[in-house]
Amino acid sequence: MNVNHIIPIGLLIAGLLGGCAHQAPRSVQAGEGGPITAEVLEAAEGELELAQASYAAGDPAGAEQAAVRAARILYSVASPSNGEGSRYAELTSRLSLLTVRLNRILHDVSPDPDPESFTFPLRHNARIERQIDYYITRAREPFARWLRRSGRYVETLREYFLEENLPGDLVYLALVESGFNPRNRSSKHAVGLFQFIRGTANLVGLKQDYWVDERRDPDKAARAAIKHLQALYREFQDWDLALAAYNAGSGRLRKAIKAQGTRDYWKLALPPETEAYVPKFYATLIIAREPELYGFNPDFESGDQAEEAEVPGGVDLKTIAEALGVTVSVVADLNPELTKGCTPPGPEPYLVRVPRGTAGSFAAAFAALPNERKYLSQEELARRKFKGVYVVYKIKSGDSLYTIAKKHHTTVAKIQRWNPSAKRNKYIFPGQKLRIYRTR
């Protein structure tokens, strides 16, 4: 656990000991005593365990008293002695995370985030608290990774929500759904930042064909999610229910509401995944508003600095990367919707995202390439289109390689390439089998 950037003293103040929000009271100022020893740490850990047990038992006042005693032990000494530093850090981290909760429950201490960045009204209840516990303990490493990755998308995508008069915080659904990974694919075949299945993607206008899956396009998927969320909110007039419907489907949610006679999401009996879904969103949002207070110090990835360039159809991403002077992974990361590693073949150009400031030099470099280097062959395009899909053809009496090739819309040379034995041997015989790849 990385605790280098946790602010334990700042957490203690506002509710526990009556100080102001970012200054420790004199009674717990660090540096007043001698080195902390193993025996002292045991005493602090005992108080902390008592505080956590009281909190779990629904006694926040008792938890506060024990936490204060633990804090006085931990923060009234100069420094931990040799060999005790990691244990000291672990205890202060646990105390910090507990104190966040106690401050909110007992003293209404809440973050004061930028209202333009965080607009969604928060909830606090036991189900949300359990999800926070999960994220900061067992799922700490993946959550930290998702939080870092969010920096690449949040600023831009949040603006799309705000433009449509939706809470900008809804962008964090992408963390719940996919960990902000546009290539994420669930066991139910949902794809992209906002995890659309094919049917829903079709309803909200996301294109999916052999070459492009717009569910993986962050911008288009975000706008589709907005469209879907708007429809759900119009139907249910409640964000908790709209979020639940995003996960379970509006039909299933309607049936649950009718059968159970309540529109209170927190009272509805729903599938386990949906019962956890809304608490996950709130827990994510609570941590994202003040990650340092929960032990996260995310080095956010920078946002996509890209612009668009027109590229003809049937061009390999490797060729684009060479003309740009970057690695192919850079181009692929900017264009995750291109599922076959090339622009869609056809007469229409495709707008490819390239690093900002490179579109002009790319156009000149690409134009200078000979045509045989610019475009993928028809055979290669067919191979990519069908991902190596082939049929096994059993040779019949009267067949020749020419008639077989004509029947399967290919050539003798390709059949021989796919079947080395057919090239080595002068004759073919009934009963032999040939592998023939699809080309149409």
Residue with tokens 């930290």: 144
pLDDT tops 60 at residue 139: yes
Classify residue 94: in a domain, yes or no: yes
d(CA 287, CA 148): 13
Classify residue 112: in a domain, yes or no: no
Classify residue 383: in a domain, yes or no: no
Q: Quick one: 335 and 364 in the same domain? A: yes
- Which of 405, 380, 383, 381 is closest to 393 using CA atoms? 405
| Residue range of the domain that includes 405 | 388-437
Q: Single out the residue in 51, 79, 107 at which a domain terminates.
A: 107
Distance spanning both ends of the chain, measured CA to CA: 54
Q: Quick one: 404 and 431 in the same domain? A: yes
pLDDT tops 80 at residue 85: no
Count of domains for the chain: 4
Q: Quick one: 335 and 289 in the same domain? A: no
Please, which pLDDT band fits residue 31 given cuts at 50, 70 and 90?
Answer: very low
Q: Quick one: 157 and 274 in the same domain? A: yes
Q: Quick one: 162 and 283 in the same domain? A: yes
Classify residue 382: in a domain, yes or no: no
pLDDT digits (tens, 9 = 90+) for 333-359: 999 999 999 999 999 999 999 999 999
Q: Quick one: 149 and 240 in the same domain? A: yes
Q: Quick one: 185 and 316 in the same domain? A: no
Please, which pLDDT band fits residue 371 given cuts at 50, 70 and 90?
Answer: confident
pLDDT digits (tens, 9 = 90+) for 111-123: 555 555 556 777 8
Give pTM, 2 decimals: 0.69
Classify residue 186: in a domain, yes or no: yes
Domain with residue 170: its CATH number is: 1.10.530.10
pLDDT tops 50 at residue 1: no
Classify residue 418: in a domain, yes or no: yes
Q: Quick one: 270 and 173 in the same domain? A: yes
User: What Cα–Cα distance (Å) separates residue 389 from each residue in 212, 392, 407?
Assistant: 18, 10, 17
String of DSSP letters for 105-149: HHH-------TTT--SPP---HHHHHHHHHHHTTTHHHHHHHHHH
What DSSP element (H or E) covers 154?
helix 154-163
Please, which pLDDT band fits residue 215 given cuts at 50, 70 and 90?
Answer: very high
Q: CB count, 10 Å around CB of 48?
A: 23
Specify the amino acid at residue 300.
F
Quote the pLDDT of residue 17.
Answer: 36
Q: Single out the residue in 331, 356, 377 at which a domain terminates.
A: 377
- Mean pLDDT score across all residues of the chain: 84
Q: Quick one: 151 and 271 in the same domain? A: yes
Q: Quick one: 94 and 218 in the same domain? A: no
Q: Quick one: 144 and 268 in the same domain? A: yes
Contact predicate 428/399, CB 8 Å: yes
pLDDT digits (tens, 9 = 90+) for 372-422: 899 999 888 988 887 666 778 999 998 999 999 988 888 898 899 889 888
Q: Quick one: 276 and 141 in the same domain? A: yes
Q: Single out the residue in 53, 77, 107 at which a domain terminates.
A: 107
